[in-house]
Amino acid sequence: MKETLEKVINKHEGKPGAIISVLEDIQETQGYLPKEILEQISEKMKVPLSQLFSMATFYSAFSLKPRGKHTLYVCLGTACHVRGGARIIKGVSKQLGIKPGDTTEDRNFTLETLRCIGCCSLAPVIKVDNDDVYGYNTVDKIHGIVDKYKEEG
């Protein structure tokens, strides 16, 4: 990673928004922002580590923990909650063997919850990655959806 990090820093250094660009590149290649790499960036770019942590926690595109290849969001907004959102999150947690906020050991999935994605008429709703929305879910249906993403890799 040392060589790659130096390349990444050299590519962006001196440009406006260089720090964000460096963090974006690391997030993309590593899947998250490892603490030891943030320490190296801090040292090399002469930016306080606290500032890097602030940026990493402020922007939702960054993660300080390893993330899965896919992020599965279960909506727990009011409409989805009323139509069984709690059952869905319980079923998905059991299937993946993780709690919301965690990532599977094989780094395939990160499980998250969110509050309403504006498709309440399809409740209960889940979303995979940025734009794949699935409605009228049951625990069984979601098993099939998870398997589909597993097969796709």
Pick the closer one to ligand FES by CB: 22 or 123: 123
Spatial neighbors of 152 by CB under 8 A, at least 6 apart, are none
Question: Judged by CB under 6 A, does residue 75 bind ligand FES?
Answer: yes
Listed ranges 19-27, 52-60, 98-106, 119-127: which one lies at the site for ligand FES (CB under 6 A):
119-127
Question: Judged by CB under 6 A, does residue 123 bind ligand FES?
Answer: yes
What is the CA angle 95-101-105, rounded to 5? Answer: 55
Least Cβ distance, residue 109 to ligand FES (angstroms): 20
Q: Which of 29, 51, 78, 138 binds ligand FES (CB under 6 A)?
A: 78
**Count of beta carbons in the 10 Å neighbourhood of residue 32:** 18
Amino acid at 73: Y
Least Cβ distance, residue 136 to ligand FES (angstroms): 12
Compute the distance between CA of residue 102 and CA of residue 99 in angstroms, rounded to an integer: 6
Amino acid at 124: P
3-state secondary structure of 32: coil
Question: Judged by CB under 6 A, does residue 133 bind ligand FES?
Answer: no
34: closest CA among 1, 64, 67? 64
Pick the closer one to ligand FES by CB: 50 or 130: 130
How many residues sit close enough to ligand FES to count as binding (CB under 6 A)? 12
The residues of the shown chain that bind ligand FES, judged by CB under 6 A, are: 75, 77-80, 116-120, 123, 125
